[in-house]
Amino acid sequence: MIDINVLASGSKGNCYHITDSRAPLLLECGIRFAEIKQGLNFQVSGIEGCLVSHGHQDHCKAVKDIMKAGIDCYMLKATAEATGASGHRVKLIEPLKQFVIGSWTVLPFDTKHDVDSVGFLLANTAGDKLVYLTDTAYCKYRFNGLTHILVEANFCEDILKENVRNGIIESAMKSRLIKTHFSLQNVKEFLEANDLKKVEEIHLLHLSDNNSDEDRFKKEIQRLTGKVVYI
């Protein structure tokens, strides 16, 4: 069984605590370390590692403090260079080369953003399988036997178009979002293309403040999949 604790999700910062009761992990560290500690009731000493998808601050802000606390951080070479992270706590990873952290086998896979980035497929010895996918324009991979899905649902195109029309956002920002982030329609296509038979939970992540609708997104994904959906 996997327990997921969303500490922060969105453009202001992303950080997720996951555990199978044997090896707690952090997915991202895009908020201050003080906030991470507070969100975990200061129980951070047992964290086995932190997986960082890419070098934007809302995903890696606390990486140096995380390492100072004695936690290994797993990231691409480009992410380490972007953050200035160095030392023995930096564990460099490559897409499609799996590695092990405690009871987890982790497979990074390449995603499509405006910097080098990855998603993560995590499997544990109990048979759970979690996919984490964010900050990408699309996903070319398919996954079997998933039990937990954490996926970005940043925007909806009709809301985005309306915001451009009303001058809430600029057309250049619209173009960037479409090229670098997962939309509600992307999420639907991704879910329809994957094996959901064993899925227990779907978590929609990284919703835009202006270009999304929590209630609508949750209802549409629940209707599509028949699964429990969290935001």
**For the segment 37-69, what is each residue's pLDDT rounded down to a tens digit?**
999 999 888 999 999 999 999 999 999 999 999
pLDDT of residue 28: 98
- What is the residue type of 82? A
- How many domains are there within the chain? 1
65-84: string of b/e by CB count within 10 Å (b at 16+)? ebbebebbbbbbeebbebbe
Average pLDDT over residues 131-153: 97
Burial of 21 (0-12, 13-18, 19+ CB in 10 A): exposed
pLDDT in tens, 155-190: 999 999 898 888 888 888 888 888 999 999 999 999
Which tokens hold the place of 82?
């972007």
pLDDT mean across residues, the chain = 95
Predicted local distance difference test score (pLDDT) of residue 113 = 95
pLDDT at 136 over 90: yes
Q: Which domain holds residue 167?
A: 3-230
What's residue 176's pLDDT? 86
221: domain CATH number is 3.60.15.10
Question: Span 117-130, mean pLDDT?
Answer: 96
pLDDT in tens, 84-96: 999 999 999 999 9
pLDDT of residue 171: 83
pLDDT above 90 for 223: yes
